[in-house]
Structure 1
Amino acid sequence: MDDISTGTLFIVLGVLLFISAYFSGSETGMMSVNPYRLKHLTNENHKGAIRVSELLKRPDRLIGLILIGNNLVNIAASAIATIIGMRLYGDVGIAIATVALTMVVLVFAEVTPKTIAALHPERIAFPSSALLKVLLKIFYPLVWLVNFITNGILSIMGISPEKHQGNSLSAEELRTVVHEAGALIPEQHQSMLVGVLDLENATVEDIMVPRNEIVGIDINDEWKDIERQLANMQYSRILLYRDSIDEAVGFVHPRELMRLLIKEQLTKATLMRAVSEIYFIPEGTPLNTQLMKFQRTKERIGLVVDEYGDIQGLVTLADILEEVVGEFTTDVAEDSNEDILPQPDGSYLIDGSINLRDLNREMQLELPTDGPKTLNGLILEYLEEIPQGKLSIRLSGYPLEVVDVQDNMIKTVRLLPHLKKS
């Protein structure tokens, strides 16, 4: 080193710091690349993405290579800085060189390149991967030795780099990604994607038409009464039963009714022959599972039954699809506002039988849905008794007033949303 001029040493030091900055930036860039975008670009045969994907398959080797290169360069830079310091300032120069080199390395070889790489990972990772791939072949024996030792330590801790499964997202994490997508995904599409994810968290009881609201025709009624009901039916499928819903016979499609009417053969007997077999759904079935079952069995409607075989409600394919795409407007038999009536004072009168999921969605509330499925059930569970008259409560932070109780059920509830939730 005595034969090398100080100016030359400064040039060598500058080159070493540049190489150190390259390794530091490469490390951050390679580890900051969006794994899902990387996979997309790899599928598009992007050369840089393919190189990065190959290197990231074994992150232990990649990190080992980068750290070996970075440490060798930094140690060499430290030695040269010490020589320069001694030449310029004697023994005091060692301390000066140490402090000065530390600051220079931190600013120019660590913080700055890593910040740039974190902000623009692809611009750093893709081009640098070409050189890293070559360096990995050159230094492979040293990298293998370092990895052999470190992997041995990791195996003691129960960690295996070779069994690394890569990145995956849980449903909750994917939901967060959708919400954070912002303008990249239209709001309506975000709602649909979240709706698909929410299917696994809801069961058929959450969306079914409860037993007491199922509309059907008692086949034991007088034929004139049956004809009058058929003329006023506004549903896509008509349930036939004998005396009670528990004695359900089957569903009749309006198409079959039209066929019988055209042939002038509509009687009780022909109506009974036109019914289709009932499709039963066990209670507790997740909506995503039931959606797949509807698709597999080519069914569109089913009756929900409990463990004893008693009918609890009715679910249609449209009900499940509405959880994803929102309410349809083609069903004239339903009025989305009839259960929630705004009042002049800013409060709302709500039907006690309303489904809690529908109420939360309509009013932007956060009432719990992991227990009772209706507002009536939720209030009764909270009170642990049937109220005898008007009663004011605060449930999940929302001020509610029981307005009307009939037949052991809370018929009407007043919600006071203008009062702050506590």
Structure 2
Amino acid sequence: MSDDFPLGLLFGLLALLILLSAFFSSSETGMMSINRYRLSHQANSGDRRAKRVMRLLARPDRLIGVILIGNNFVNNLAASIATIIAIHFFGEVSGPAISTALLTITILIFAEVTPKTYAAIKPERIAYPTSYALEPMLKLLYPLVWLVNAVSNGLLRLMGVKSVDSGGDSLTRDELRTVVHEAGTLIPYRHRAMLLSILDLENVTVNDIMVPRHEVLGIDLDDSLQDILTQIRTSQHTRLPVYKGDINNIIGMLHLRNAARFLSRDEVTKASIVQEAREPYFIPESTPLHTQLLNFQKQKRRIGIVVDEYGDVDGLVTLEDILEEIVGEFTTDVSEDEEIHQQDDGSHVIEGTATIRDINKMLGWQLPTDGPKTLNGLILEHLESFPEGPVCLQIGNMRMEILEIRDNLITSARCWQQLRVPRR
């Protein structure tokens, strides 16, 4: 056989076959490793190469079939030619064994490891150009590919795999969170934080972000008319709940924009104030934020009264409160004093009414949020009784010292993280 074909031709064919083997190996890895979401974006932007690759990936069984048919064909042909060459140099006894060893090492280095590694690192550089050859090859070899796929798909069905389509490449919420985290500098940090906050809306309820009942400022119709008008004129809020005697008896929500209608009159009555108030909008305390955001949009509302399972008012929540969970603080309430005060020794004096979520966000702590909502509630839950005076306690790695108690309320506490001394 070697006498019929010049050795130079055989070596040339062998080198060509090894290159073809590298082509098929790299195209398989490149096609399977390409970023499907970037590919989909480029295809939607009109990139013809991306559209061609997406057509091939739509049926991965056919794509892998044509690649492996070509790869096995060139590898087997290369093995035959290598055997002929080896027999010519080493004889019929040792030639086949030597050719097998040498060809295995050659294919591993030049047709498997090197091209596949490069394709895994730069999949687009491989997938796009190889698609020019793979698409016509798939059409040319379709009968053989169909036969191979029919047998292999039958075996897959016996194993419980019913579909070989590539699917929609959908992401779960946790997977999407990982994608956003790994975007790095491709997405600015602030934008990543907003995207993650949107994903977390489902895990937060209105009860977590509401203005608590004792901090709600409203119009009590039992007050004198003069006090009510003074409150309206000096209010720093655009909307005020109107109630009679007790905040559980809310009559409506007054938008101060509408207050001009009765303030301009010569004679103002409480009835005219109630007349301008809009019907209150009540919200169950367990409503997730993403649901409430849609409800605000549907109801054309910007503020709601949060009630518990017994119908008692717990507080109120606004559209701005939900938006701040996504974009961060963008409003300043000048009437609200800071609740967290850093000390020179690194500790923080925190008011008891400060919410656990705000403390964790501002200081980067990990205080538990699945129970009480405020620092006062957290300390009382841990102590299981109301302290008679200042005491110290530890919650996790946090040390706390109660500083002031007033009217059955822990009004302030000094908190600091306990440094863990490494064991020797």
Q: CA deviation at 1:420?
A: 5.0
Pick closer, same or farther for the CA change 1:265–1:125 going to 2, 3 Å. farther
CA distance in 2, matches of 1:256, 1:222: 20
Q: Please tell me whether residue 7 in structure 1 is matched to residue 20 in structure 2.
A: no
Aligned residue number for residue 302 of structure 2: 300
Q: Do the aligned partners of 2:399 and 2:418 also contact (CA within 8 Å) in 1?
A: no
Aligned residue number for residue 103 of structure 1: 105
Pick closer, same or farther for the CA change 1:96–1:265 going to 2, 3 Å. farther
TM-score calculated relative to the size of structure 1: 0.94
Written as runs of structure 1 = structure 2, the 5 A alignment for 1:212-251 is: 212-251=214-253
- The amino acid of 2:116's aligned partner reads K
Q: CA deviation at 1:110?
A: 0.7
Moved more, 10-19 or 222-231: 222-231
Aligned residue number for residue 404 of structure 2: 404
Q: CA deviation at 1:305?
A: 1.3
Aligned residue number for residue 361 of structure 2: 361
Aligned residue number for residue 54 of structure 2: 53
CA distance in 1, matches of 2:236, 2:293: 24
Aligned residue number for residue 176 of structure 2: 174
Written as runs of structure 1 = structure 2, the 5 A alignment for 1:172-321 is: 172-321=174-323
Pick closer, same or farther for the CA change 1:299–1:96 going to 2, 3 Å. same
CA distance in 2, matches of 1:350, 1:387: 17
Q: CA deviation at 1:421?
A: 9.7
- The amino acid of 2:24's aligned partner reads F
Pick closer, same or farther for the CA change 1:130–1:13 going to 2, 3 Å. same
CA distance in 2, matches of 1:188, 1:421: 35
Written as runs of structure 1 = structure 2, the 5 A alignment for 1:37-52 is: 37-52=38-53
Pick closer, same or farther for the CA change 1:149–1:408 going to 2, 3 Å. farther
2:171 is paired with a residue of what secondary structure? coil
Moved more, 20-29 or 7-16: 7-16
Q: CA deviation at 1:418?
A: 7.0
Pick closer, same or farther for the CA change 1:164–1:385 going to 2, 3 Å. farther
CA distance in 2, matches of 1:334, 1:189: 28
CA distance in 2, matches of 1:414, 1:96: 79
Would you say how many aligned residue pairs link Structure 1 and Structure 2?
Answer: 420
CA distance in 1, matches of 2:335, 2:241: 15
Written as runs of structure 1 = structure 2, the 5 A alignment for 1:126-165 is: 126-165=128-167
CA distance in 2, matches of 1:393, 1:100: 73
1:116 is paired with a residue of what secondary structure? helix
Q: Do the aligned partners of 1:235 and 1:333 also contact (CA within 8 Å) in 2?
A: no
Q: CA deviation at 1:309?
A: 1.4
Q: Do the aligned partners of 1:257 and 1:266 also contact (CA within 8 Å) in 2?
A: no
Pick closer, same or farther for the CA change 1:421–1:290 going to 2, 3 Å. farther
CA distance in 1, matches of 2:393, 2:162: 56
Q: Please tell me whether residue 69 in structure 1 is matched to residue 79 in structure 2.
A: no
Q: Do the aligned partners of 2:324 and 2:330 also contact (CA within 8 Å) in 1?
A: yes
Q: CA deviation at 1:237?
A: 0.6
Q: CA deviation at 1:84?
A: 1.5
Instruction: Please list the CA deviations of residues 301-321 of structure 1 after superposition, one character each: whole Å capped at 9, or x if unmatched.
Output: 001112221211100000001
Pick closer, same or farther for the CA change 1:305–1:265 going to 2, 3 Å. same
Q: Please tell me whether residue 28 in structure 1 is matched to residue 29 in structure 2.
A: yes
Q: CA deviation at 1:55?
A: 0.6
Pick closer, same or farther for the CA change 1:330–1:265 going to 2, 3 Å. farther
- The amino acid of 2:199's aligned partner reads L
Moved more, 345-354 or 262-271: 262-271
CA distance in 1, matches of 2:394, 2:72: 63
Q: Please tell me whether residue 413 in structure 1 is matched to residue 413 in structure 2.
A: yes
Structure 2 unaligned segments of length 5 or more: list them: none
Q: CA deviation at 1:357?
A: 1.4
- The amino acid of 1:169's aligned partner reads L
Structure 1 unaligned segments of length 5 or more: list them: none
Instruction: Please list the CA deviations of residues 149-183 of structure 1 after superposition, one character each: whole Å capped at 9, or x if unmatched.
Output: 22122222322334542312222222222222222
TM-score calculated relative to the size of structure 2: 0.94
Instruction: Please list the CA deviations of residues 79-103 of structure 1 after superposition, one character each: whole Å capped at 9, or x if unmatched.
Output: 2212211211122222222221111
Aligned residue number for residue 334 of structure 2: 332
CA distance in 2, matches of 1:265, 1:126: 79
Q: CA deviation at 1:221?
A: 1.5
Q: Do the aligned partners of 1:58 and 1:161 also contact (CA within 8 Å) in 2?
A: no
Q: Do the aligned partners of 2:30 and 2:127 also contact (CA within 8 Å) in 1?
A: yes
Q: Do the aligned partners of 2:59 and 2:165 also contact (CA within 8 Å) in 1?
A: no
Pick closer, same or farther for the CA change 1:155–1:334 going to 2, 3 Å. farther
- The amino acid of 1:9's aligned partner reads L
The CA RMSD over aligned residues, in Å, is 1.9
